[in-house]
Structure 1
Amino acid sequence: MIDTVLVLTEDSLAPVDVAHILQLHNDEQFAYRVLVPADTERNMLVSLVDNLSMGELRDALDVVLGREPSPTQAKATAAEQLASSLAAFADAGRDATGAVVEDDPLPALRAAVEAGGVREIVVVTYPHALEDTFRRDWASRAREELKVPVLHMYSGTSEIVD
């Protein structure tokens, strides 16, 4: 049985993200499984600070005005992001499977690890000022709870976050 690398992402993986993930294991063969949470419950303060810290004023205004997607819209967006991410793996010559998971992805990660065969988890996100600083981001939470290595990369970069 081939070991699995779980990839948790909050958006579509870009070809450069997939290339960086694959470069982590140049000499080994792994199965890749992509998980994309349907963002149905955003924390307004955290989202506002994130948007302002990244200079995303229009998105910050949307947060303040309560313009969040409905659960149906969030799941449809996550499904599109998953399809795009799987296509990026295919374009790189690797097969990948995946699933849309609940807003909090930790239960899905835990279930996958408990099922066996998961070698590591790669979390790909954008920078999140509050969550990254106070270690409440997905990668930090997964490191606390799960007994497998967890790497955190920022989308579009090769930067691995501590």
Structure 2
Amino acid sequence: MYDVVLLVEQELTEEDAKQVVALHEDLPDPVKYHVVIPCHNAEAGVEASLAALGTADLYGAGIADQRNDLAAAQRAIDDEAKGCSGRSVERLQALGQQAEGGISHERAIDALTETVRKVDGREVIILTRPHVVAEFFHVDWAAQARRHLGVPVLHLLEHDKERPAKRR
């Protein structure tokens, strides 16, 4: 089995899935895809933002009163991420591939590293929207993965399902 770990920002489009599968069509071993979607932690995000602004002491107690609202927001975020993961897996399976997926509340690179270790991943594919500044400073997911993992890392740009491709 040749295990490929996919770290994606949003669900795979049909075009994304076809592109990923095409990369491995000549492999002699069966391929299994492991889709990882990092999921924002709403409460941690609010607390980190307040701390960065230096206002955590002023509003910290107020956050405690907002726990129910944050929990509801987190459930909505998690539900959306699980749906994206499930639809991505379904698109890969519709192409005759073995695939599984899930979400993670860890930092993206930590979730990726853990998944590669857990499944003995042979290759990593990272699908993101363009992040010009992060890529320029080599702090994007692909650059981080190359520094932390001992497997090939390929960075692909996601197909934008909102905008049709330009024809020439």
Q: CA deviation at 1:108?
A: 2.0
Shift of 1:79: 0.5
Match of 1:123 in 2: 126
Give the C-alpha shift of residue 116 in structure 1: 5.2
Q: Which residue of 1 aligns with 2:54?
A: none
2:77 to 74, 92, 95: 74
Runs of 4+ off more than 6 Å: none
Contact 2:31 2:98 in 1 (8 A): no
Query: What residue is the counterpart of 1:25 in the other structure?
Result: 24
Mapped partners of 1:110, 1:34: distance in 2: 13
Give SS of 2:122's match.
Answer: strand
CA distance in 2, matches of 1:22, 1:71: 32
Deviations 1:73-114 (A, max 9, x none): 221111011011011112212120011112512222222233
Identity of aligned residues (%): 27
Tell me whether 1:150 sits opposite 2:153 in the alignment. Answer: yes
For residue 137 of structure 2, the aligned residue among 89, 114, 134 is: 134
1:112 maps to a residue whose letter is T
Say if 1:142 and 1:15 are closer, same or farther in 2 by CA, change over 3 A. same
Q: Which runs of 5+ in 1 are unaligned?
A: 45-68, 158-162
Match in the other structure for 2:60: none
Q: 1:35·1:82 contact (CA, 8 Å) conserved in 2? A: yes
Aligned to 1:95: 98
Q: Residue 27 of structure 1 aligns to a residue in which SS? A: coil
Give 1:17's aligned amino acid.
Answer: D
Q: For residue 124 of structure 1, report the CA deviation from its aligned partner.
A: 0.5
User: After superposition, where does 1:37-56 map in structure 2 within 5 Å?
Assistant: 37-40=38-41, 41=45
Aligned residues: 132
Higher helix share goes to which structure? 2
Partner AA of 1:79 in structure 2: K
Using structure 2 for the length normalisation, give the TM-score.
0.71
Residues 5 and 120, structure 1, Cα contact 8 Å, conserved in 2: yes
The 8 Å contact of residues 15 and 92 in structure 1, kept in 2 or not, is answered as no
What corresponds to 2:163 in structure 1? none
1:14·1:85 contact (CA, 8 Å) conserved in 2? yes
